[in-house]
Structure 1
Amino acid sequence: MTAAVTAAAVDAVFRPIVAGRVHRWGGARLIVARARELRQVPPLSPAEWRVLRELRAWRQAEWTAGRLLAKRLVGEVVSAPADGVEILPRDDGSPRVVVGGSPMPALYVSISHTAGYVAAALAPEPVGVDLCEIDSADAVRRVADHFLSPEELSPVDRERPDAMAGAWALKEAAVKADRSGVFGAAPRAIPILGLRPPLLGGRRRAMVWRADDAALALVLAHPGG
């Protein structure tokens, strides 16, 4: 590896991001909100209602919150009524945009949620967004060997909760952009080269912010990158 997560990078504080506001970065639109502030159910199509009814009760609130944010982003770039925008799952579970019954292959969407936060991102290229609450750092440490290689992990101060949460969110956002999973072989194919600024292997661009007590990562992956 030509570069690695340095101690200086870990010591840096992630730039804060304002919740509830649409942000733009690298051609993507991004919004993060506190889950308790997203009680409204967005307009849902019959297909979306079918997906929702199949979810367990505890998942339904976070699912609708994620769609609420994603539809807000789509509404900023596509002229369509709110009830004409659908966020439906692909066969692999990743979300896709449908407007007026027609798939929108030029729009990519990603959604993430924790107990306290919800985030959505929209971009004209494959995108991944992920949240990791900093209080989850202990859990991240326990599985770090599964998603970080020794070269990535050795310089990271495991005692820094923000660093561990940021590393997890960055890797998770990267595999989401690739429509793969954080466990197994896929994460090792996307090396983290830095946390501050966030750098990934391959033709990928990334950023990590701090949303109050959570790390928020956004990754854009060039198709075929």
Structure 2
Amino acid sequence: MIREAGPAGFRAIAPGPVHRWGGAALVVVRRAGPLRPPPLSVAERRVLDGLPARRRAEWAQGRLLVKRLVGEALAVPPGKVEVLPRDDGSPRVLVGGVAAPAVHVSVSHTARHVAAALAPVPVGVDLCETASAAAVHRVADHVLSPGELSLIGTDRPEAAAAAWALKEAAVKADRRSVFGAAPRRVVILGLRPPVLGGRRRAMVWRADDAVLALVLAHPALPRGSAAAP
């Protein structure tokens, strides 16, 4: 059953400070202005050097945010924190060269913003500019069900951006690709407040001209328990 969306618009989130929701820490910053390079390990520098030149600044800024969140959460210097890609491309955290399995992180970029999130459970964060709403509608048949299409409507750019951000944040939390069938398996039941099918919790904010979605994927229920729809 698709729930009707509430009034248009999402609560604004302030760029800069660390925000907390549902046990997660979240930060979003504007990309304008000079970038203070993060302390990079040899392995991180190797990853950075292998990226196209146009992606290096956003990659470095995303890792700077993750190092900030991990440093605050674990009370360690950011220089001891490494953020390296897994085989599937998702970020993993090491502290002093040792994997931190209880720390889950996610990063997202747009042309104007970078966001990062940290949580004790699998987490996904995604930014989608409202100007991308037309592009969302162009690929809607591949990622949105008829019920989800009716939920976002045809003239609500913010709702379209939110739907895409929720789908991508959820597949990031699941460590899957936004390409293929994975986004269709994420069912959006509501946008305001955001409600997803399965054992997921979600929230959406407005960050300037973008929509920011955070999704927490909870561990499997004990044997014999019933999962949420």
In the superposition, the TM-score normalised over structure 2's length comes to: 0.93
- Between the aligned partners of 1:199 and 1:32, the Cα distance in structure 2 is 22
Query: Which residue of 2 is the match for residue 14 of structure 1?
Result: 10
Provide the identity percentage. Answer: 67
> Post-superposition shift, 1:183?
2.4
Query: Which residue of 2 is the match for residue 131 of structure 1?
Result: 127
Unaligned runs of 5+ in 2: 222-229
- Between the aligned partners of 1:81 and 1:155, the Cα distance in structure 2 is 45
Query: Which residue of 2 is the match for residue 116 of structure 1?
Result: 112
**CA RMSD of the aligned region, Å?**
1.2
- Between the aligned partners of 2:19 and 2:200, the Cα distance in structure 1 is 19
The more displaced of 139-148 and 104-113 is 139-148
Q: How many residues align?
A: 221
- Between the aligned partners of 2:56 and 2:33, the Cα distance in structure 1 is 15
Amino acid at match of 1:121: A
1:53-105 superposed Cα distances (whole Å, 9 cap, x missing partner): 00000000000010011110001111322211001000000001100000000
Structure 1 residue runs of 4+, over 6 Å off?
none
1:42 aligns with 2:72: no
- Between the aligned partners of 1:58 and 1:86, the Cα distance in structure 2 is 22
In the superposition, the TM-score normalised over structure 1's length comes to: 0.95
Unaligned runs of 5+ in 1: none
1:16-59 superposed Cα distances (whole Å, 9 cap, x missing partner): 00000100000000000001146111000000000000000000
**SS of equivalent residue, structure 1 residue 15:** coil
> Post-superposition shift, 1:158?
1.9
> Post-superposition shift, 1:12?
2.5
1:137-193 superposed Cα distances (whole Å, 9 cap, x missing partner): 111111111111112112321211101111110111011000112221111211000
The more displaced of 148-157 and 15-24 is 148-157
1:4 aligns with 2:2: yes
Query: Which residue of 2 is the match for residue 56 of structure 1?
Result: 52
In the alignment, is the contact (CA less than 8 A) between 1:5 and 1:192 conserved in 2? no
Query: Which residue of 1 is the match for residue 162 of structure 2?
Result: 166
- Between the aligned partners of 1:100 and 1:155, the Cα distance in structure 2 is 46
Q: Indicate which of 63, 66, 69 corresponds to 2:65.
A: 69
